[in-house]
Structure 1
Amino acid sequence: MSEKLDVIIFGASGFTGKYTVFEAASVLQNYRWGIAGRNREKLENVLKDMGAKAQRNLTDIPIILADIDDEASLLAMAKRCRVLVNCCGPYRFFGEAVVRACLEAGTHQVDVSGEPQYMENMQLKYNKQAEQRKVYIISACGFDSIPADLGIVFIEKNFDGVVNSVESYLQTHTKGEVSGGAGVHYGTWESLVYGLAHSHELREIRSKLFTEKLPKFNPVLKPRPLIFRSEIVNSVCLPFPGTDRSVVMRSQRFLYESEHKRPIQMHAYVAFKSWIAAILVALVGVSLGILTKFSFGRKLLLKYPKVFSLGFASHEGPSEALMERVRFSFIMRAIGWPRSDRLSEPTDQYTDPPSKTLTVKVSGPNPGYGATCVALLSTAVTILKESDKMPGSGGVLPPGAAFAKTSLISELEKHEHGIKFEILANK
């Protein structure tokens, strides 16, 4: 067998995969890495095209042939590396076979799934086996949900007290005028459609996965109205439809159960410049929620993504010109109590209202296919460098739980398309 690689990028010829290869040229430059997929010619073209874009010669990067429908090839691929970076989604269809291969091979795996049913089902089915095999299986290592989950890690490190709750507000903007392409590729849209269609599965999964309730919070962080104007970001806001809250709460549950740490409450929102924009997006969201419940509706959504997403999603995906001009920021407001008021037990209740706030900003460029790819690769690098700082010896974990005590935040800040963490106000 050939020499074992540090990292293999699986699904490298897909839309997300090829930009992960581009970022790997710099993020993984000190590691032995390869790419994998089922078509050698397409993989060779990815190395040629992304090498030219990165101004690096990638022609010597190893190519491994693996097919999601061929379990033997998946196992052989997993045995060739220490960390497998899985870019092959939707994960509810293609993720589990890769997880099984990694568990059998004793190989860590990271991916960019934003599908709660998939992530929580993998934890339910494979967490004990991952612990026994000393393997880390970590999803949500991209735009969903590294900024939010590691943002709360950053908040706790800088709060100097006890955090009760966090509200997160996503803002995006595009620099300059640019045309060509939509905001996300069809694969992301497909994951969203199937996630909404099968959202009812979460109740049963969670009833089995989370058999004990978290302690009651005091005061309770109540959700905001469906549409509201926030004084924190001076914008009209809606609930954030991504997986940030579910991922964050999985991390908080893990830290409570493993370290007896008081869980943080969290709600996530997305900000818009006007009431009209927010109302249009809300109407699209309601329409999606209805259409995904019916087979005919799902077929329409998947056949005409650009129509039903108001031009945001397409089979072609966004143009590079558009991607390079999009920036995002999460404004995260934490409320809690100063260190002098710390209680002895996480289940103890405060009698005084929270009196301390911390506002942070987590920001970066090209959220879908720049910062996401850097974040994904940075989690792989962190496992290679600092597995001794990660909890236990393995498990199926969200990123906040997995990387809370590592230097992942510093790793993310190193790169051109990385993610920056900063304090805006501390009162």
Structure 2
Amino acid sequence: MAAAARTRPYDVIIFGATGFTGQFVVEEVARCAAEGPSGSLKWAVAGRSRQRLEEMLKQAAGRLSMPELRTDIEIIVADVSIEESLAIMCQQGLVILNCVGPYRFYGEPVVKACIANGAHYLDICGEPQFLERMQLEYHTKALDKGVYVIGSCGFDWTLTAVDSFLTLSSGPEGLCGHDATWKSAVYGFADSGSLRQLRKKFGNKPLPVLGTKVKSRGFMFFSKEIEQYAIPFMGSDPSVVRRTQRFLYEEEQQSPVQYSAYVGVGGIFSVVKLFCGGLLFWFMAKFSLGRKLLTTFPSFFSFGLFSKSGPTMKQIEDTCFNMTFYGEGYSEGADPNEGRPNTKICTQVLGTEPGYVATVSALVQAAITLLNELHCLPRRGGVYTPGAAFYKTSLIDRLHNHSIKFSVRNYQ
């Protein structure tokens, strides 16, 4: 970003920089800043404790062999419970990267502060209740202020139906996620009823279905596509895609796509373990005492998939993801109202560890895209999904040049 265009001291401020994910974001921003012309990206870190922020920068400087991080990077003390501190932080940055979760508890004050003080907001939230509520309550306010609020910036022929399958591979130490992600899942599942009520407030009419309506595959099935058992993906992907589809249909008159998201769970032993663990999770998440136990002992109740310490660096280095999209539709000139789809296409997205490498890279590249291509974003502000906000930008190309690779092919 050209220095002449800079209107605030910092282009990017990382809020929650000492958190588990925040530390990875700091390192990614530092690398991107070093790759560009000197002084092209000005950034700072923010959080509750100056001492912890100083220690984090010291560790990052050592890991990246960038001693200048200890002295050149500004520290801003800000706390979600202190409105004035958030205002001061937001007044100093063009873009705030919010890494403080779970967002249902800590996200809204940051969104409000960004809108009130004219700073754009990005996060890596995977909580549909928070994402959709922010759109319902803050879209008009953000639009009036010329501020973009874009959540879930972690990882869209005429297609009529798309199924996505996420699979993960790891090394001998296995997979592991951080406690904050587990907490989001626990409270999100417990509060699923409020999400249905929230969606009614939008008053949206159902999107039209182009071609044949696709039947649901059920809760668990053996997928020939990935050659393992699969279940519906419980994350925010369906919610984010649905909101993107509505934007593209209403604003760009693009035909909606029927979308279903699944995740591979492995063989029959994994299915049995998942079934037993899922029943226990379902029962305990319904009660406050059960939620307390689930969040206090994440490693025990998740069979080691989540822990308070998060994954080791070895686990992160050995983990990668493969998300494959299988779509079907109609070739040019074919009538979707007559006959079955006659075109099939497969898009594959490959990347490094999804939670703390690929997601972090996507967040940082989204911020850089926003800074450099603001004129390509819709309208002049508002609350959007990444697909709605960045579909006319170079974000896909930026991601392809970093930790995420895209490929497209036809399939039978």
Pairwise TM-score range, normalised by the shorter structure: over 0.9
Query: In structure 1, what residue type is equivalent to 2:339?
Result: D
Q: Tell me how many residue pairs correspond in the alignment.
A: 399
Q: State how far apart, in whole Å, the 2-side matches of 1:216 and 1:311 are.
A: 41
Partner of 2:123: 111
Shift of 1:202: 0.8
Shift of 1:424: 4.0
Indicate which of 170, 175, 195 corresponds to 1:174. Answer: 170
- Give TM-score scaled by structure 2 length: 0.94
Q: State how far apart, in whole Å, the 2-side matches of 1:37 and 1:242 are.
A: 27
Shift of 1:3: 5.2
Q: Is the 8 A contact 2:209 2:256 kept in 1?
A: no
Query: In structure 2, what residue type is equivalent to 1:303?
Result: T
Q: State how far apart, in whole Å, the 2-side matches of 1:28 and 1:366 are.
A: 22
Q: Is the 8 A contact 1:141 1:375 kept in 2?
A: yes
Q: Closer, same or farther in 2 for the Cα pair 1:376/1:259, shift >3 Å? A: same
Q: Is the 8 A contact 1:25 1:51 kept in 2?
A: no
Answer yes or no: is 1:96 the counterpart of 2:108: yes
The gaps in structure 2 that reach 5 residues or longer are 1-6
Q: Is the 8 A contact 1:136 1:395 kept in 2?
A: yes
Cα-to-partner distance string for 1:232-261 (whole Å, 9 max, x where unaligned):
112211111111111101100111111111
Q: State how far apart, in whole Å, the 1-side matches of 2:33 and 2:283 are.
A: 43
Map 1:2-401 → 2, pairs under 5 A: 4-29=9-34, 30=36, 31-57=41-67, 58-59=69-70, 60-142=72-154, 146=155, 152=156, 161-175=157-171, 177-178=172-173, 183-341=176-334, 350-401=337-388
SS of the residue corresponding to residue 28 of structure 1 reads helix
Q: Closer, same or farther in 2 for the Cα pair 1:203/1:315, shift >3 Å? A: same
Partner of 2:4: none
SS of the residue corresponding to residue 66 of structure 2 reads coil
SS of the residue corresponding to residue 339 of structure 1 reads coil
Q: State how far apart, in whole Å, the 2-side matches of 1:362 and 1:218 are.
A: 26
SS of the residue corresponding to residue 270 of structure 1 reads strand
- Give TM-score scaled by structure 1 length: 0.90
Cα-to-partner distance string for 1:85-118 (whole Å, 9 max, x where unaligned):
0000110111000000000111100001111000
Query: In structure 1, what residue type is equivalent to 2:177?
Result: V
| Sequence identity percentage | 40
Q: State how far apart, in whole Å, the 1-side matches of 2:48 and 2:262 are.
A: 39
Q: State how far apart, in whole Å, the 2-side matches of 1:279 and 1:129 are.
A: 48
Cα-to-partner distance string for 1:225-284 (whole Å, 9 max, x where unaligned):
222111111221111111111110110011111111111111011113312213322332
Q: Closer, same or farther in 2 for the Cα pair 1:312/1:361, shift >3 Å? A: same
Shift of 1:323: 0.8
Q: Is the 8 A contact 2:111 2:149 kept in 1?
A: yes
Q: State how far apart, in whole Å, the 2-side matches of 1:167 and 1:216 are.
A: 15
Partner of 1:404: 391
Q: Is the 8 A contact 1:221 1:266 kept in 2?
A: no
Shift of 1:168: 0.4
SS of the residue corresponding to residue 268 of structure 1 reads strand
Q: Is the 8 A contact 1:197 1:293 kept in 2?
A: yes
Query: In structure 1, what residue type is equivalent to 2:352?
Result: P
Cα-to-partner distance string for 1:203-241 (whole Å, 9 max, x where unaligned):
111011243221244311222122211111122111111
Q: State how far apart, in whole Å, the 2-side matches of 1:258 and 1:210 are.
A: 17
Shift of 1:178: 3.2
Partner of 1:414: 401
Cα-to-partner distance string for 1:331-352 (whole Å, 9 max, x where unaligned):
11010001222x6xxxxx5212
Q: Is the 8 A contact 1:238 1:278 kept in 2?
A: no
Query: In structure 1, what residue type is equivalent to 2:60?
Result: M
Q: Is the 8 A contact 2:285 2:291 kept in 1?
A: yes
Q: Is the 8 A contact 2:211 2:341 kept in 1?
A: no
Q: State how far apart, in whole Å, the 2-side matches of 1:397 and 1:93 are.
A: 20
Q: State how far apart, in whole Å, the 1-side matches of 2:283 and 2:372 are.
A: 46
Q: State how far apart, in whole Å, the 2-side matches of 1:354 and 1:425 are.
A: 14
SS of the residue corresponding to residue 379 of structure 1 reads helix
Q: State how far apart, in whole Å, the 2-side matches of 1:285 and 1:135 are.
A: 40
RCO comparison, higher one (Cα < 8 Å, 6+)? 1
Q: State how far apart, in whole Å, the 2-side matches of 1:123 and 1:9 are.
A: 22
Q: State how far apart, in whole Å, the 2-side matches of 1:426 and 1:27 are.
A: 37
Q: State how far apart, in whole Å, the 1-side matches of 2:252 and 2:189 are.
A: 33
Q: State how far apart, in whole Å, the 1-side matches of 2:342 and 2:204 are.
A: 33
Q: Is the 8 A contact 1:27 1:374 kept in 2?
A: no
Partner of 1:149: none
Shift of 1:374: 0.7
Shift of 1:397: 0.7
